[in-house]
């Protein structure tokens, strides 16, 4: 299971085994706040610097799922190649 903490520390995102979902939990509350469906073989999860997005690598489908933290839903799925694992999430501004 992999974990990512939002910058403010109010939420954790995790990839529990074996599912095709990520869970949003509050520190100290194992019940969870939300569960979001993502791609096959999800592995790693990382939080964007501002904490507004969580990104999940889906090794089974060669994709990364981008999750809107506030809406608790996948907003985009991106093909990234075979067996994506570790993530480095940054911010790109488009004019």
pLDDT digits (tens, 9 = 90+) for 43-68: 888 888 888 888 888 888 899 999 99
pTM equals: 0.80
The pLDDT value given to residue 90 = 66
Q: Which residue is listed with tokens 């939002």? A: 6
Q: Exposure of 45 by Cβ count < 10 A (0-12 exposed, 13-18 middle, 19+ buried)?
A: buried
Express each pLDDT in 4-48 by its tens digit.
Answer: 777 777 788 888 777 788 888 888 776 788 889 998 888 888 888
């Amino acid at each position: 299971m992999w974990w990512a903490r939002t910058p403010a520390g109010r939420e954790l995102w995790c990839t529990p085994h074996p599912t095709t979902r990520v869970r949003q939990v509050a520190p100290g509350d194992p019940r969870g706040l939300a569960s979001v469906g993502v791609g096959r073989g999800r592995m790693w999860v990382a939080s964007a610097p501002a904490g507004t997005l969580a990104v999940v690598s889906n090794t089974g489908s060669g994709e990364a799922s981008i999750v809107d933290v506030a809406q608790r839903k996948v907003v985009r799925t991106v093909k990234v190649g075979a067996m994506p694992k570790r993530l480095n999430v940054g911010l790109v501004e488009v004019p």
